[in-house]
Structure 1
Amino acid sequence: NQGRVVTAGGNPVQPTITIPNNASGITVNEQGQVTVTLPGSSSNTVLGQIGVTRFINKAGLQPVGSNQFVETTSSGTPQDGTANSEGYGKITQGSLEQANVDVVSEMSDLIAAQRAYEMNAKVISAADQMMQSTTALFR
């Protein structure tokens, strides 16, 4: 209701971009440039650029929930840049990023791991029984 461009979670993008009440035709290109059509204007008006940041060690970022992360010493310092340039992702308006996990593949890997665990448990049980039998023979 304040006209600010926000994330799906309601957090304002950085830097803050505000859409005028009378704007129409809001678009965001692959570089993160936000443009609108204003009344009485024949061309699009650029309102701002959505910032993107990368880290040398993404695995070093600390998750804080809601798909948000905090910089740590192991993640390295943030490197700000422009979307759709080398090393930075592109922005796609009106899209929702899907999970990067193949559920079917992960489920079959989980089943295979469970079966391997069961087989190892049976081997350990059989070895234990053999040790008990061997111990009983020497008594």
Structure 2
Amino acid sequence: MTERPRVLFVCVHNAGRSQMAAGYARALSDGAVEVRSGGSEPGDQINPVAIAAMAEEGIDISEGVPQLMTTEAVRDSDVVITMGCGDVCPIFPGKRYEDWDLTDPSGLPIDRVRPIRDEIKRRVELLLRGLLNNPPR
């Protein structure tokens, strides 16, 4: 049996984009992918508008707690997806990195967060399709 691919989603506060991405990855992979998220400067709570937007999709991220992205978490992940954390993320040779240029939903009303959420879903679906058809060795 092969090990599950490990994906780390990172944004600055780990309160919006990375939490939504992790929520989708958990829901859509049905446990086939180990999902982590973190932030370079974690906030004190998940963005309530992000929680509401994900609830519309039937995904509950309300129990999430913003976490500090650690060097170990990056090292132990097969794929690292960054969303606006800039040069703060440590780089390890041989890892797969992607930077998703997505608007920070902080302070935005739900009608402006929905398109961000939908783009995150689209990208997570593509990521999972690639990972689960070609898992890391």
Q: Which TM bucket (shorter chain)?
A: under 0.3
Q: TM-score, normalised by structure 2?
A: 0.21
Indicate the structure with greater strand content: 1
Greater C-alpha Rg: 1
Indicate the structure with greater helix content: 2
Of structures 1 and 2, the one with the larger relative CO (CA 8 A, separation 6+) is 2
Q: TM-score, normalised by structure 1?
A: 0.21
